Amino acid sequence: MQSRLSIARLLIVQTGSTHLHGDYPRWFERALGFEMPLIRAHAGERLGSALDRVRPQGIIVTGSPLSVIEKASWMLELGDDLLRVGARGTPVLGVCFGHQLLARAAGGDVVQNPRGREIGTVRVQLTEAGRKDVLFAWARGPEIEVQATHVDAVDPLPAGATVLASNENTAAQAYRLSETVAGVQFHPELWAAAMRDLILSRRDKL
């Protein structure tokens, strides 16, 4: 799988910054094993110029300490742009903030989760659609363990979205909007030791 991924041209759309174990793009590069071009959307870099330069075969939209609830103009523009790119056939995966950004752009909403913060190694149950989806082809059963840290959640989902995974805290842990656009609330790129360090770094705020 890694060899096929490394051949593909993947573009990272960074939506915020962290200094834990590098930055958000570094997490994905560590997980996949190769470097990827990126744009810093939160710093004003535009998606269009990167598409012309990179001609990506897939796009990953990162997490962020920011909130989609803020409805900043760059967030609204980016969400619309990403949906258009997906509609033209380029796969787009939103992770955490990215998952929420795509859902809102498609007509859903994002709220502070009434069940509270979810942080740590959590269990997520795949739906029947999720068990058949290529996004979870690696899963060996109907339940997976993943790393998650979020306060906001998608609710409701956009019309026509298919739930791929859920748990007691968050009904929309993963969804698919179309053949090319999907989102996951959790962080597939994070590893358990990094999550431990993240929790320790935030212990005064938790």
User: Which active-site residues does the annotation give?
Assistant: 96, 187, 189
Nearest to 165 by CA among 118, 140, 133: 133
- DSSP per residue, 158-198: PTT-EEEEE-SS-S-SEEESSSSEEEESSBTT--HHHHHHH
Tell the burial category of 86 from Cβ atoms under 10 Å away from its Cβ (0-12, 13-18, 19+): buried
Calculate the alpha carbon distances from 102 to 140, 142, 175, 184, 192 in Å. Answer: 27, 25, 10, 10, 26
111 phi, psi to nearest 5 deg? -135, 165
Contact, 157 vs 174, CB < 8 A?
A: no
Structure tokens at 61: 């939209």
- DSSP per residue, 105-162: HTT--EEE-TT--EEEEEEEEE-HHHHHSGGGTT-SSSEEEEEEEESEEE-SPPTT-E
